[in-house]
Amino acid sequence: MGEPKRTEIILVRHGECAENREGVFRGRSDGPLTERGMRQAELLAEEIARFFSPSAIFSSPLQRARNTARAVGERLGVPVEERSGFTNMALGPWEGQSKDLIRETYPEEWALWIHNPERLALKGAETLDDVQRRAYANLDHLVRLHEGKAFVVVSHRAVLKPLLAACLAIPSPYFWRLHLDTASYSVLWHERTRGYTCALLNQTRHLPDLVSEWT
C-alpha cells in the first residue's frame, strides 16, 4: 500500500475592515477592507506563496473575504471561486450594530455571546450550529474533490471557529477557546484514515501591526 493522500487546507480569516476597528458586528453586511486590511492581504499572499502551493482558492462571497482571496489568487496565479457555504453568520438585529449598543439593548443575549455563544439564538439570525453544518458540508465536499492537493478557504471568524470545532471534534462550548485574528491563517490536514488534523492555528507572523480582536 502507498502512502495515504494528504489534503492540505489553508483556512484564512479576511483582513481588517472598518467594522473590525470600530467594534461593530458585521454579519452579512458587506463592507470593504481598510487600507491596512489590504496591506494585510498582500502580506498574507506573500506568506502563502512562500510556504504552500494551493491549486484552488475558495471564498465567502462577502467583499472583505473576496478582496483578501483576490490578493492571494493574484499572487499565486490561481482563480478565486465564491462559495456561499462560507459566507458569514447571519446576525439578524445585530447586523451593523456597535457592541456597546448591543450590550445595552440585549443584555441577556450579550451575556450569552460573551459566555456561551453556542446557545445564542436571535430572531432572524443563524445559530453557530447552523453555520457549522453548512460550512462543514462545504469543506467536506471540497476535500473529496481536491484529495491529495492543497487549497485555500477565505472566510470569517464566526464561520472558521465552528468549522474547526467540527473538523477536530471539539465539543461545545468551543467558540472562545479558539482565537483567530484578522488576516491570520490556520492549516488542517486531511487523510481518509485519520480524518482532520490541526497542523497550525492562528498564524500571524506575517502581520507586523496586528490589532487583536477579542469579542
Write the pLDDT tens digit of every residue in 120-149.
Answer: 999 999 999 999 999 999 999 999 999 999
Contact (Cβ atoms closer than 8 angstroms) between residue 35 and residue 133: no
Q: Quick one: 151 exposed, middle or buried, by C-beta within 10 A (0-12, 13-18, 19+)?
A: buried
Return the domain boundaries, the chain: 7-203
Residue predicted with more confidence, 4 or 115: 115
pLDDT tens digits, 167-176: 999 999 999 9
- The grid coordinates of residue 213 equal 480582536
211 pLDDT band, cuts 50/70/90, is low
Binned at pLDDT 50, 70 and 90, residue 213 comes out as low
Which H or E element spans position 153? strand 150-155
Three-state secondary structure call for residue 189: strand
Fold assignment, 7-203:
Rossmann fold (3.40.50)
Instruction: Give the separation between CA 110 and CA 108, rounded to whole angstroms.
Output: 5
Average pLDDT over residues 90-105: 94
In angstroms, how far is CA 84 from the centroid of its own chain? 13
Say whether pTM exceeds 0.85.
yes
Q: How confident is the model at residue 73 (pLDDT cuts 50, 70, 90)?
A: very high
Express each pLDDT in 23-49 by its tens digit. Answer: 888 888 888 999 999 999 999 999 999
As a whole number, the mean pLDDT across the chain is 94
Residue 65, classed as helix, strand or coil, is helix
Residue 3 pLDDT greater than 90, yes or no = no
Amino acid type, 4: P
